[in-house]
Amino acid sequence: MEELKVLDLSGIQFLSLPSSLYCLKNIRTLCLDRNLLEDVAIVGKLKTLEILSFLDSDIDQLPGEIGQLTRLKLLDLSHCLNLRYIAPNVISCLSQLEELYMGNTSIQWEVEGVDNQGQRNASLGELKCLSNLTALHLHIRDAGVMPQDLFFKKLKSYKIFIGDKWKWSSKYDLSTSRTLKLKINNSICLGPGIKTLLKVSEDLSLEEMNGVRNVLYELDMNGFPHLRHLLVKDCLELLYIIKSVAWNLAFPKLESLILRNLINLEKICHGQLNAGSFSKLRIMKIEKCDRLEYLFASSVAKNLTQLQEIEVTDCKNLKEIFGEESKDHGDEIETNDKIDFNQLCSLTLQRLPQFIKIGSDMRVVFPRLENLKLCSINIENTWLDQPLAMSSYSQCLKSLTVEECNGLKFLFSYSMVKSLNQLHKLVIGNS
């Protein structure tokens, strides 16, 4: 079958590939997914290959012969859990590569600059030879082996994890094509190549970023114009997500914001923001941020009309969801202003011992709230015991949970009970 161009041998359990493979003089695509393979050197004889996939296969090394595939455009090594060894200079020889998928492998990259005689494995510096690369999946467990000058000028799609704690998921989020997860012990490791990726990332996760105190200023002064999802956790030195006065535009496309265990975070935003900032935010989850007294200033709250879910847990000093910065920055908002969160359908407040109210000097209305959960909150003198506020969302409420809330006097006035025709779950515990 010398004219064969595509061969799929996925899921076939053989230790060595048939020697007759070298007869495929016109082969373009070879799939060896989900196989148990000990020796794949013969693949190097298929000089016409353009697509080669070992997805989810049991191979422990990629031999030097693979470097002979100089026409290769796509190489998929994803989820090859036992792959630890790639012969030096194999990757750098694949100069025509456009797509390289190496997520969830166990490769021990060498430090760039080790001479070939002492080098046991490939180095990440070889990626610099792939000038045509447009798609890359890569997990670098040790940031110390990453070259500072690693640039990807044509990269359009990527999923890059840096750090030893990230878990690679086999599920792909098709809504985002540029994902970056960083766990770096020293901000010096943030070379120009990584900062270039930060500017165009759509999904960004930051963990234990020592030396970083202000995400927006220190990582991307352009305001992350493409970012849609942001997770920040365990960054003990972080003081602000944004610290700026009259910033042009910050996070204009951000849809979800998750902050966890930021014990020194003083404010999410410090200073005035452009009206378009956070205007697409739908999901906000805050956990163990003990120095926060409120999430957003009232002036910023006006931008958050797309909010669908708010969840705040274990924040010891949080007093309000929407506070006021007028004393320091002259935010313009009149007392008793009203803000309608027409899209908000879920609100969860748990273990907030200092919590007082939703908004400062403003009336907050949730006309479409469906799920409300309150746990370990002192409800006395909060908004819940004021029937006027509860009536703003009682008609859509489907689930209400109130547990361990001291000071609770009543949930609903008699007139409000008649409007609760959508309520199908009511949990009251130790209140």
Q: Tell me the pLDDT tens digit for each residue of 262-298.
A: 999 999 988 777 778 899 999 999 999 999 999 988 8
| Structural domains for the chain | 1-211 (3.80.10.10)
For the segment 37-94, what is each residue's pLDDT rounded down to a tens digit? 888 999 999 999 999 999 999 999 999 999 999 999 999 999 999 999 999 999 999 9
- CA distance readout (Å), 261 to 203, 314, 327, 371: 19, 9, 28, 25
Q: CA 360: distance to chain centroid? A: 31
Cα–Cα distance, 300 to 310 (Å, whole number): 15
Show the tokens assigned to 337: 């202003």
- The answer to whether the CB of 299 falls within 8 A of the CB of 310 is no
pLDDT: which is higher, 274 or 101: 101
**pLDDT the model gives residue 361:** 64
**pLDDT the model gives residue 350:** 95
Q: Which of 17-31, 200-214, 299-313, 400-414 has the lowest mean pLDDT?
A: 400-414
Name the percent of the chain lying above pLDDT 90: 41
Task: Name the strand (E) or helix (H) holding 301.
Answer: helix 298-301
Cα–Cα distance, 92 to 77 (Å, whole number): 16
Show the tokens assigned to 100: 């390289």
CA nearest neighbour of 221 among 250, 182, 194, 258: 250
Q: Give the pLDDT band of residue 375 (cuts 50, 70, 90).
A: very high
For the segment 292-330, what is each residue's pLDDT rounded down to a tens digit? 999 988 888 888 989 999 999 999 999 988 887 654 444
**Percentages helix, strand, coil for the chain, rounded to the nearest 5?**
15, 25, 60
CA torsion 328-332-338-342 (nearest 10°) is -90
**pLDDT exceeds 80 at position 189:** no
Residue 430, amino acid: N
pTM strictly above 0.85: yes
Cα–Cα distance, 63 to 77 (Å, whole number): 13
Q: Which residue has the tokens 């006035």?
A: 413
Show the tokens assigned to 178: 């540029």
Q: Which of 7-16, 168-177, 288-297, 385-394 has the lowest mean pLDDT?
A: 385-394
CA torsion 255-258-264-268 (nearest 10°) is 20
Cα–Cα distance, 116 to 336 (Å, whole number): 72
**pLDDT the model gives residue 275:** 79
Name the percent of the chain lying above pLDDT 70: 84
**pLDDT the model gives residue 338:** 76
**pLDDT the model gives residue 143:** 79
**pLDDT the model gives residue 348:** 94
What stretches of 102-207 adopt beta strand conformation (E)? 135-140, 157-162, 178-183, 203-207
- The answer to whether the CB of 69 falls within 8 A of the CB of 91 is no
For the segment 110-128, what is each residue's pLDDT rounded down to a tens digit? 887 555 555 578 989 999 9
**pLDDT the model gives residue 169:** 74
Largest pairwise CA distance in the chain: 84
Highest mean pLDDT among 58-72, 150-164, 230-244, 384-398 belongs to: 58-72
pLDDT: which is higher, 425 or 393: 425
Q: Give the pLDDT band of residue 402 (cuts 50, 70, 90).
A: confident
Mean per-residue pLDDT over the chain, rounded: 84
**pLDDT exceeds 70 at position 16:** yes
Query: For 167-204, b where at least 16 C-beta lie within 10 A, e where not — what string?
Result: eeeeeeeeebebbbbbbbeeeebbeebbebbbebbbbb
Rg of the chain over all Cα atoms, to the nearest angstrom: 27
Beta bridge mates, 5: none
Q: Which residue has the tokens 């020592």?
A: 210
**pLDDT exceeds 90 at position 254:** yes
From the number of C-beta atoms within 10 Å of its C-beta (0-12, 13-18, 19+), residue 346 rates as: middle
**pLDDT the model gives residue 383:** 54
**pLDDT the model gives residue 301:** 84
For the segment 405-422, what is each residue's pLDDT rounded down to a tens digit? 877 776 766 767 777 788
